[in-house]
Structure 1
Amino acid sequence: MRTRSRLAAAVLAAATLGSAPALAGGLGAWVRAEQADLRLVSATEAIGPGQERLRLGLHVRLETGWKIYWRSPGSAGLPPRLDWDGSANLGQATLRWPAPQRFELFGLQSYGYAGEVVLPIEARLVEPGAPAVLGARVEYLVCREICIPGAARVALDLPAGPPTPSAAAHLIDRFAGRVPAPAAAAGVTLAAETGTGTLVVTARGAHPFVAPDLFVETAALPDLPAPRVSLAEGGRTARFTFPDVALPAGTRLTATVVDGPVAIEGETVALAAARGLGAVLAIALIGGLILNLMPCVLPVLALKVTGLAGLAGAQPAAARRSLLATAAGVALSMLALGAALAGLRAAGASIGWGVQFQQPVFLAFMAALTGLFAFNLWGLFAIGAPRWAGTLAEAAPRRGLAGDLATGAFATLLATPCSAPFVGTAAAWALTRGTGEILAVFAALGAGLALPWVALAAVPRLAALLPRPGAWMIRLRAAMGVLLAATSAWLMTVLASQAGTEVAAGVAASLVAAGAALWLA
Structure 2
Amino acid sequence: MRWVTVFLAVILPLLLALPAAADGQGGAGASAWAASEAGRVRLIAAADSVGPGAAPLRLALDFDLAPGWKIYWRTPGDAGYPPALDWGGSDNLAAATLRWPAPHRFVLGGLQNYGYQGRVALPLAVSPAVPGRGVALRARLSFLACATLCVPQQADLALDLPAGDGAASAYADAVAAAEAAVPGDGAAVGLTLERVEARGTGAEARLRLIARADPPFTDPDLFVESAAIPAFGQPKLRLSSDRRRLEIEIAPAEPPAAPLAGTPVTVTLTDGGRALEAAVSVAAAPAGGDTALAGMLLVALLGGLVLNLMPCVLPVLSIKLLGILGHGGGERGPARRGFLASAAGIVASFLLLAGLAAGLRAAGLAVGWGIQFQQPVFLAVMIALLLAFAANLWGLYEIALPRWLLDRLPAGPGPGGIGGNFLAGAFATLLATPCSAPFVGTAITFALGRGPVEIVAIFLALGLGMAAPFLLVAAWPDAVLRLPRPGRWMLRLRAALGVALAATALWLGSVLVDVLRAPAAGTPPAVSGRVPWVAFDPAAIPGLVAAGKVVLVDVTADWCITCKVNDAAVLEREPVALRLAAPGVVAMRADWTRPDPAITAYLARFDRYAIPFNAVYGPGLPEGVALPELLTSGAVTAALERAAKP
Band of TM-score, shorter chain: 0.3 to 0.5
More RCO (CA 8 Å, sep 6+): 1
Larger radius of gyration: 2
TM-score (norm 1): 0.47
TM-score (norm 2): 0.38
